[in-house]
Chains A and B, each alone.
Chain A
Amino acid sequence: MQTLSVSGYDMAYLEIGQGRPLVCVHGTLGDFRTWSAVLGPLSKSHRVISVSLRRFFPEHWDGVGDDYLMVQHISDMIGFLEKLGDGPIDLMGHSRGGHIAFRVAQLRPDLLRRLVLAEPGGELDATLDPAASGPAPSERAARISASAEMAKAGDIEGALKLFFDTIDGEGAWGRLPAAPKQQLRDNVFTLIGQAGENRKPFSKAEAQSIETPTLFIGGADTKGSLPAVLRALSAEVPGAKTAIMPGCRHWMFEQAPLEFSAIVTAFLRN
């Protein structure tokens, strides 16, 4: 694969199409393949650059090491954009990758032209959610820890099922076709890293500080806390646009690739 050396790590990426660069960041258990279904429509008008974050496939990581951290991935993405050196670029992130993209926009707005956050993952602090539980770990974090323990103990299927059903609803893992399952399985040991990734909750001041024109995009049928996080952030990010796709859930760009690409392309064009 093509790679860029960032902070001592060769970050692999897939690059397709010509035009203004659009860098895409996958979420938990994803990798550069996450965006496959939208590569065609998006690459008609953009140079699509789909990265694999540190420790994700194509690396075959064993879960040992202490550099799977939210701050490391944010720093890696900043380094990647700097190395790319194409001037302000469009950045899109899904789920945990949306969290990373948000933090990049917060820290280095000079690097970005536009920002697309597809159901960004994370917690809300008390300034955004009066009912926030404070420093205690969320239920989601507890499930990640449990998944990580299962992966460590060799129960790969159990770890994946627990994580996936947490995000996409009970029974979702069982219904997933074998090929997408295998691509998540290729990244299962990143769950071990994720249990200690030390992700900070979003605050109102952070959301209000995002200057980059931002699109929030989500699925109308997504389960759990992701829709509430999306709405809370989009209400505070100045001038943010929001698009909710009917009939879709968390992997909305796989469920409706043409519609997703049309919304994103229109936003990036304006």
Chain B
Amino acid sequence: MQTLPVNGADMAYLDVGRGPPLVCVHGSLCDFRIWHGVLGPLSNEHRVIAPSLRHFFPAQWDGQGDTYSIAQHVSDVIGFIGKLNIGPVDLMGHSRGGHVAFRVAQRRPDLLRRLVLAEPGGELDATLDPDFVPGPSPLAARIATAAGKITAGDVEGGLAFFIDAIEGPGAWARLPAAPAQALRDNAFTLIGQARDNRPPFSKADAEAIAMPTLFIGGARTRGTLPHVLRTLAAHVPNSKTAMIPNTTHPMFEQAPQKFCEIVLEFLGTP
């Protein structure tokens, strides 16, 4: 693959199409391939650049070391955009990748033109959620259990535990073989995820995002993600929100044409 050297490691990326650059950041257990369903429509109007974050496939990581964290990945995306050397870019992130993109926008607004956050992952602190309880997220214990199984060599068991914890009992077994294999290719990142060290979003964080921002989600997503999305959207000053009917968290895989139509319209607005 094409790579750029960033912070001492080679970041692999897929680069398709011509036009204003759009950098796409995948979420947990995914990699550059997660965008395959939207590459066609998006690359009709944009140069689509889909990196794999450090330690994700095509890397074959063993889970060792302390270079998997939100801070590392934010720093890597900042370095990556700088190395592209093409001026400000549009940045899109999904799930944990949305969290990374949000933090990039916070730290380096000069690098970005527009921001698309597809159900960004994260917690809300007390300034955004009166019920906030400091400490590790409720998911942390489950990630630690899954990571323990994977470290011990039980990759299937670790993935099954993690996916079932998020999507409900039997979800891993029901997953079609191709998407399951993509998760398996990234199983070792769950070991890093156990020490992701992700700080919660604050009201001041959200209010500081200056560039035009699109929040996009699935109308049928369950759990905390829709609440996080709506709360952030209420505080990011120059933001729009679009919820795609009949879709859940992987909304761009479930409705690629609708997703692209919304994103392209947002990015094309002068």
Contact = CB atoms under 8 A, between A and B. Distances in A.
Contacts of B39: 33, 57-58, 186
B15 A182 contact: no
B43 A58 contact: yes
B40 A57 contact: yes
Interface in B19-56: 33, 36-41, 43-44
B57 A40 contact: yes
Interface stretch (A12-20, A79-87, A99-107, A132-140): A12-20
B85 interface: no
B181 A178 contact: no
B176 interface: yes
Interface stretch (B113-121, B134-142, B223-231, B253-261): B253-261
Q: How large is the interface on B (under 10, 10 to 19, 20 to 34, 35 or more residues)?
A: 20 to 34
A245 B23 CA distance: 39
B2 A256 contact: no
Contacts of A127: none
A183 B34 CA distance: 12
B182 A36 contact: yes
Main secondary structure of the interface of B (DSSP, over half): helix
Contacts of A57: 39-40
A183 B252 CA distance: 13
Interface in A247-270: 254-258
Contact of B176 (A40, A60, A177, A182): A177
Most buried by B among A41, A183, A256: A183
Nearest to B184: A40
Contacts of A178: 37, 253-256
A185 interface: yes
B37 A182 contact: yes
A179 B37 contact: yes
Contact of A257 (B38, B58, B178): B178
A82 to B, nearest CB: 22
Contact of A179 (B14, B17, B181, B253): B253
A131 interface: no
A153 interface: no
A177 B251 CA distance: 12
Interface residues of A, number: 31
B88 to A, nearest CB: 23
B178 A182 contact: no
Contact of B182 (A37, A58, A258): A37
Interface in B235-270: 253-257
Contacts of B41: 182, 186
Given A1-B15, A16-B1, A256 B177 contact: yes
A137 to B, nearest CB: 30
Contacts of A185: 40
B178 to A, nearest CB: 4
Contacts of B182: 36-37, 40
B1 A258 contact: no
B111 interface: no
B256 A14 contact: no
Nearest to A40: B185
Given A37-B178, A178-B254, A180-B37, 10 more contacts: A1-B15, A39-B57, A39-B185, A57-B40, A58-B39, A58-B43, A178-B37, A182-B256, A185-B40, A255-B178
**What 7 pairs across the A-B complex have the smallest Cβ distances?**
A179-B37, A186-B40, A40-B185, A37-B178, A179-B253, A182-B256, A257-B181
Interface of B: 1-2, 14-17, 33, 36-41, 43-44, 57-58, 60, 176-178, 181-182, 184-185, 253-257
21 contacts: A1-B14, A1-B16, A14-B1, A14-B14, A16-B58, A33-B33, A33-B39, A36-B182, A39-B33, A40-B185, A58-B17, A178-B253, A178-B255, A182-B40, A183-B40, A186-B40, A186-B41, A256-B177, A257-B181, A258-B177, A258-B181
